[in-house]
Structure 1
């Protein structure tokens, strides 16, 4: 009793009431007269290795134990004792399954789940030596005939509709009206072999092979209750141990056969989990980039306050504004899951940060951006930098000191061509007199042409200036 408590506390997080349930099971085992000739064990799941661990053993009171050495405290592996994990996972008894002991001996197991409320906390295992008769039942001489009876197989599947025949690449199990497996394809045999089942699964009953926790009687009752036709397939997704499956069940009423099709989607689930993990990692990277850029901005502002030259202060302010544009974009990227970013959200956040950084009390910024436009994360940073440069140019050059003005930021999409424009009602300028050495204009032209593979258009007169750039989305 003390050893069981110690092992359970070591390998699981069971509460005391759960442990008490296991101790009660020990008393039931010791008082069960039918167990006097058998080795009886209690196994619980090992939370660290996700295998099972033996926490109790009652040797036979009549006859000799199948074990020469102590096995309490040792692991029971899925590939050696599939019935243990079948019962732990589904809550169904596993009767008549083969297993291999820790001493490499082939034995026969009857396994019953131990439940605490509705939770399976362990299993009771009754083991006996395997006889020649039992071996012969798994090597039945008609097994080969079942596989080679091509005409019967074709006849069986010929009666099924496309919902089944389209799934022939999946595991196929056919059970007779008593729930015994009479036919299985190669994929099914490989599936159960991979789950640790020993020997030929042909002849085993449905409950021993059920992976989704359903029993044969409940399945038949369900089909009969809903008066299901032979053309209707029931579909379900579930997890078994570390595997993920999609299962389809069809009752062939003509032959009174239950056809079960199992699709292994474990690899797909792992890929989905990997994508989610990478997405979380990317979001964390974006968050750190944003924080680092804000730290750089803080340092530049400190430097800016120490400068006396207005020209140097303005130049440094331009650099701060560019970094802020990048930081605001990464702030948005850090909050989203998908790789695509809503253009309106990105630019509205940019404008908000731009106003905080610049003196725009007399300037009104109006945004009108199509809310359906989404841009990939790589190009959204480029767009933010371009728009920031355009806004900065307006603030620096379009209006004289304390002059009121309006900036219109627009974004439209037409036949997958996105056009973003920044227009002001300032004094305008002569295009032929713009310095080609201007850093802001150089950035704009370079980013539009090289990074967006787009086109830039600038128009200006005495009523204001409009700069627009377009690119294929």
Structure 2
């Protein structure tokens, strides 16, 4: 289904300010839907009549729509009423009985105004009640109608009042409190009263200033959000957390106005003690995991240094080369752990690992080569250039280590056997579509001719690709000269949060 922005962009004469205001309304109209316990449908003007561009269902009551009524034009019965409100006539606040998908529903119409102009119409539709509404439902409905009147005055949604995107945002069903203009509590829902009582507020709260009731309970040593007093008094449309006695309440204030003057406020409240506790545990866990990766990286680097020192003491070239290869592999594993320090415990940004693997492969491959841009220690050394094409993206840690080892082994082989005498370019090309990953390690050297590569490094790479990654590893001669090794694997998916961390 197209987005609201797409629908609005297709409406003739819809300017940017009007579109932004309607999107701001839709971003916060769940509050209105929950208070009225009704479906909301937003209509805008089109040459043929009116078009439904957005729909919201309540979380506090039953819906009257099984399918979203979005993208449809008003039917002949609805169109005159909607167009009349769009043309500036008085809103139809009196409920009328209509049929919705075979069931009776009560419908109201309310204008959406901005800068003195009617830019849309809301239809508020709820099931016909089976009995008398409770006191709680009645008070919530009254607050919802006050927001409808604010919307008709262009005062709702509240411009310039962004809601911080933090988990645990309170909704009407979590708890709601009504304040007067001085911040005195007029009424509170049962869930809200229970949340404050668990927080430590004792006795009847009605008739008392909410800020005074809660200030004494705040932890004096804990930092307090600067916006908290304004939220508790209902003077600012904002969100804030309040912490005391090991408990945490998430509060959101919506000032109520009439004729441009503030005459009260709605406070949404939710007990987020358990949610914040889990967040603190996750932060502690993440810090611990990062410390473990840091120590593992340091230990591996120490092992690599010891192997390098030991190789220098070897008199046998074969033993020296074997220790050098072991040192390079240990250093490659250390690179993965270092990358985990910069990302998250659930994802490794593998393109950064590839860059380091390339440098490591060239620097450790042979004494006859030097990396492009590096200091030349021997005038007889040949230069090896490196380049990376395409992106691998995020990889799970359990797959990053074998993949890094394979890339390093293949890159080292390409330098040692293809470029050590002539120099040239070492290229890594990555192609990823979803979980499917193909990596080409190419050189423009002499090529392998008819002989397939052999040796310990080749066997290690083949074993890791087939056994650890469940993929394939193939070699071929490039038509333009040189050798191409191709890794073809399917990776496990990485969570969105981890990939964007």
Matched with 1:411 is 430
Matched with 1:423 is 442
The alignment partner of 1:269 has SS state of helix
Matched with 2:349 is 342
Matched with 1:471 is 489
**Deviation digits for residues 68-110 of structure 1 (CA, Å, limit 9, x no counterpart):** xxxxxxxxxxxxxxxxxxxxxxxxxxxxxxxxxxxxxxxxxxx
- Conserved 8 A contact 2:357-2:408: yes
**Deviation digits for residues 348-379 of structure 1 (CA, Å, limit 9, x no counterpart):** 11222333333322241322233572223332
User: What aligned pairs does 1:234-249 form with structure 2 within 5 A after superposition?
Assistant: 234-241=237-244, 242=246, 243-249=248-254
**Alpha-carbon deviation of 1:164?**
9.1
The alignment partner of 2:178 has SS state of strand
Matched with 1:314 is 321
Cα distance in 1 for residues equivalent to 2:265 and 2:343: 46
User: What aligned pairs does 1:263-274 form with structure 2 within 5 A after superposition?
Assistant: 263-274=270-281
Partner of residue 450 from structure 1, selected from 467, 473, 495: 467
Counterparts in 2 of 1:461 and 1:312: CA distance versus 1, 3 Å:
farther
Matched, 1:193 2:197: yes
Cα distance in 1 for residues equivalent to 2:175 and 2:208: 16
Matched with 1:392 is 412
Which structure has the greater CA radius of gyration? 1
Counterparts in 2 of 1:419 and 1:164: CA distance versus 1, 3 Å:
farther
Cα distance in 2 for residues equivalent to 1:466 and 1:386: 14
- Conserved 8 A contact 2:192-2:270: no
TM-score by length of 1: 0.57
Matched with 2:229 is 213
The alignment partner of 2:229 has SS state of coil
**Alpha-carbon deviation of 1:292?**
0.9
**Alpha-carbon deviation of 1:182?**
3.9
Partner of residue 287 from structure 2, selected from 276, 280, 292: 280
The alignment partner of 1:272 has SS state of helix
Counterparts in 2 of 1:344 and 1:199: CA distance versus 1, 3 Å:
same
**Alpha-carbon deviation of 1:381?**
1.8
Counterparts in 2 of 1:284 and 1:164: CA distance versus 1, 3 Å:
farther
Partner of residue 458 from structure 2, selected from 441, 456, 460: 441
Cα distance in 1 for residues equivalent to 2:425 and 2:145: 65
**Alpha-carbon deviation of 1:469?**
0.8
Counterparts in 2 of 1:215 and 1:371: CA distance versus 1, 3 Å:
closer
- Conserved 8 A contact 2:419-2:443: no
Matched with 2:74 is none
Partner of residue 401 from structure 2, selected from 381, 403, 406: 381
- Conserved 8 A contact 1:173-1:183: yes
Cα distance in 1 for residues equivalent to 2:145 and 2:326: 65
Cα distance in 1 for residues equivalent to 2:400 and 2:280: 26
Cα distance in 1 for residues equivalent to 2:238 and 2:198: 23
Counterparts in 2 of 1:268 and 1:428: CA distance versus 1, 3 Å:
same
The alignment partner of 1:170 has SS state of coil
Matched, 1:157 2:107: no
